[in-house]
Amino acid sequence: MHLSPLQSRLVASLAASCLLILLYLILFPPSFALAAELNDAFPAVSDDLDFSIDPAVLNNRDPMYEPEFSAFDRSITGRVPEGVTPLTDNEPLPMNIQPGSTQLFVFVLPSGSPGEEDGRRHELRGEHNASREATAGAGATEQAKGTFEDGQGIGKRQAKQTVYISANTCDRPLPVDPSKTTQDAPQLTLFVSTSAENQAPGPLADQGSQDVVVFNEGAVMYSFNTDGEVYLGVYAPNVSDSFSTKPYNVQVVVSTDGYYFSYDDHDDADLIWVDSDSQGALLITHNLTDSTDPKLEAEIMKTQPYVLFAHNKKDRAINGLKYSYCGLYRHAQIAATKDERATPLVRTGMTKRGPGNLPKQQFFFSGLNSSAEYFGILARDGLDDGDHLATRQAAFKRGTRVFKATSFRTKSNHGNCALVIDLSFCDQIAYSVPSNPNFGNSTKLADFYDSYARSAYANFEKSLAQVPCDAPSSQRYSLVRNCTDCAAAYKDWLCSVAIPRCEDFSNTAPYLQPRAVTQPFPNGERLDAETLASMPNTTAFTASRNPRIDEVIKPGPHKELLPCDHLCYKLVQSCPASLEFGCPLPRGIGFAGNYAKHDPSVGLTCNFPGSAHFPSAGERAVLDWGLMILVLVAGSLTV
């Protein structure tokens, strides 16, 4: 076809227009259409992601960007060979492993989504909107925070990140006959490789290209820096025929923002055994805060940050799993958790009892076996975040944490020592007191002792009222102590003296004072003549500390953990001389059988308010012996 010059010019300009429109459409895509498309397309895209990404976070991002990540991630996962399980950031993966085999995992750094929960990195992401767009075409992704901080590396495909591997053994093969097999099943072993040459780390792989970590009591924690893929092997050793064929069960998780499963094996106990009786025990945590800010304290008192597991030491079900949360959850005899696993044998709550009056969580057991040894294991279940607890336990955000086991034991079945807690007057008292199962329940027992102390205190208050407490300082009895101090010291002393701390008669610790040795036990038994003959025939041995205890409670032979001598010295130091308090000197008349010295190197050798079976928990006053002797000479032996 022949075109006229006019026609050909029209064709040319039409073609040019079409090209222009095309060019325009390419350069400036109509934004309304894209927005609508993206809103619809999003859920689908995120469903498809191999790395689960919080949709809320997705929406914060540049939407154009997302499909590239998922494509990238998919391509990596697509390469995963048969038998290798891909791991997702912060997602625990449960897995059975047959003895004698290795389970392989691979973890790819979540380059597009480091630490969704990490607020700081959110901020960084915001700040770098512009630079991210500029480098988007090059496939650049979010940089690790280290790189951002250094202000370099933008445009590099991947920066070094810390990778935290943690795992918990939930189950392991059990001895077929526990009475014959004294060994427990061996621990699992973790093998880690970051070398593409060693994608199947394990006992048979090249030892030079992998790190080996044996699980400790069913748990492992291992971290390192890397910028590439991480290959893991969890190896279950062969077990002998004396074990069941049950496989190991393990939960493995890799995280980029801290350990998901952690444990704490420092020497310092996190759980403190306060005292026990024949079927119960009282345990407390450390101070949950050092702050005395009333608002913070009130907030902490509303929480119950810990869970607790307890287990009879004779039973081996938790052996080798003591740092594994799921192992304890499945196998511990007693669980104080916040879910249906909780056993009715334990009550938990918050208390401020003890030196410093700071918040602590307490656990009160009942239904234990007498004369038995137990493990108590404190843990965090990761369900609540402990962010407001500005203490060492707050170092993790989610996931579980298991603390070192604390040993405790119950008393004998004589039942003449019983735990009392929550006394209204002697509010610092929480320990075993001389008791008799026939007397009544622990509420009644606590009331008996508490009301006795309260009435003695009322008499003291009358005496203190005679002292000119509110006089100008020149006329007061002391420049450093006032009547408030005196009253507090008296209460501490009185509660420890009026409410004796009871131990089994069979306890042979040298600092304990035998009491009521000539009386019958609650079940009618008496001490044999030989034992009796070995003890002096004095009231310090033949009676309880307080005659009313023998009249009303009739506990029978028991031993008393004597009050600490420093309670008496503090009283003498704090109160006016006119009240005529005095203390016996060690080795002097009236000391033996009435007071004991605090010796943290031996253990709990004497009783004081808030004391526990925790050597360093309670040293309160440091005594100045020079001063004491002056006071003692001045005072009379009335205390």
Binding status of residue 86 toward ligand NAG by CB under 6 A: no
Q: Which of 157, 347, 444, 548 binds ligand NAG (CB under 6 A)?
A: 444
- State the nearest-atom distance from the C-beta of 120 to ligand NAG, in Å: 15
| CB of 453 vs ligand NAG, minimal distance in Å | 20
Residue ranges in 231-290 that form contacts with ligand NAG under rule CB under 6 A? 238, 272, 286-287
Give whichever of 354 and 415 is closer to ligand NAG, judged by the CB atom.
354
SS3 87: strand
Task: CB nearer to ligand NAG: give 100 or 228.
Answer: 100
Distance CA 230, CA 376 (A): 36
Q: Does 126 bind ligand NAG (CB under 6 A)?
A: yes
**Which lies closer to ligand NAG via its Cβ, residue 119 or residue 126?**
126
- Tokens standing for residue 342: 């909780």
Instruction: Give the torsion through C-alpha atoms of 45, 47, 52, 58, to 10 deg.
Output: 40
* 605 lies in the site for ligand NAG, by CB under 6 A: no
Task: Count the Cβ atoms, other than its own, within 10 Å of residue 286.
Answer: 21
Number of residues counted as binding ligand NAG (CB under 6 A):
27
Nearer to ligand NAG, 473 or 508 (CB): 473
DSSP state of 217: T
Q: How far is the CB of 398 from ligand NAG (least distance, A)?
A: 26
Q: Determine, following the binding rule CB under 6 A, whether residue 506 of this chain makes contact with ligand NAG.
A: no
- In whole angstroms, how close is the CB of 614 to ligand NAG at the nearest point? 7
> CB-wise, 91 or 268, nearer to ligand NAG?
268
Question: According to the binding rule CB under 6 A, does residue 355 interact with ligand NAG?
Answer: yes
Q: Which residue has the tokens 């002391």?
A: 478
**What's the rounded Cα separation, in Å, for the pair 130 and 602?**
65
**Subset of 475-504 contacting ligand NAG (CB under 6 A):** 482, 484-485
Task: Indicate which single residue of 276, 279, 312, 436 sits in contact with ligand NAG (rule: CB under 6 A).
Answer: 312
User: Residue 594, SS3?
Assistant: coil
Of positions 240, 369, 424, 466, contacts ligand NAG by CB under 6 A: 369
Strand stretches in 393-471, DSSP E: 400-403, 406-409, 417-420, 431-434
SS3 state of residue 132: helix
Closest-CA residue to 280 (of 433, 116, 411, 92): 411
Q: Of 534, 539, 526, 529, whose CA–CA distance to 508 is shortest?
A: 534
Q: Is the dihedral of CA 48, 50, 53, 58 positive or negative?
A: negative
Q: Which is nearer to ligand NAG, 536 or 588 (CB)?
A: 536
User: Using the rule CB under 6 A, is 59 a contact of ligand NAG?
Assistant: no
Asked if 129 is part of the footprint of ligand NAG (rule: CB under 6 A), the reply reads yes
Q: Which is nearer to ligand NAG, 221 or 617 (CB)?
A: 617
Integer Cα distance of 597 and 607 in angstroms: 9
Scored b (16 or more CB within 10 A) or e, 92-120 reads: bbebebebebbbbbbbbbbbbbbbbebee
Give me the least distance between CB of 291 and ligand NAG, in Å please: 11
d(CA 321, CA 328): 7
Using CB under 6 A, pick the residue from 115, 258, 280, 354 that binds ligand NAG. 354
For residue 444, CA distances in Å to 95, 280, 416 come to 52, 17, 15
- The radius of gyration computed from the CA coordinates of the chain, to the nearest angstrom, equals 35
CA distance 196 to 207: 14
Using CA atoms, how far apart are residues 499 and 426, in angstroms rounded to an integer? 9
Question: Which residue of 144, 497, 571, 617 would you call a contact of ligand NAG, by CB under 6 A?
Answer: 617
User: Least distance to ligand NAG from the beta carbon of 229, Å?
Assistant: 27
Take residue 240 and report the two structure tokens written for it: 């002998």
Residue from 407, 531, 537, 578 touching ligand NAG (CB under 6 A): that is: 537
State which residue has the least CB distance to ligand NAG. 356
CB of residue 146 to ligand NAG, shortest distance in Å: 21
Residue ranges in contact with ligand NAG by CB under 6 A: 60, 100, 126-127, 129, 238, 272, 286-287, 312, 333, 354-356, 358, 368-369, 372, 440-441, 443-444, 482, 484-485, 537, 617
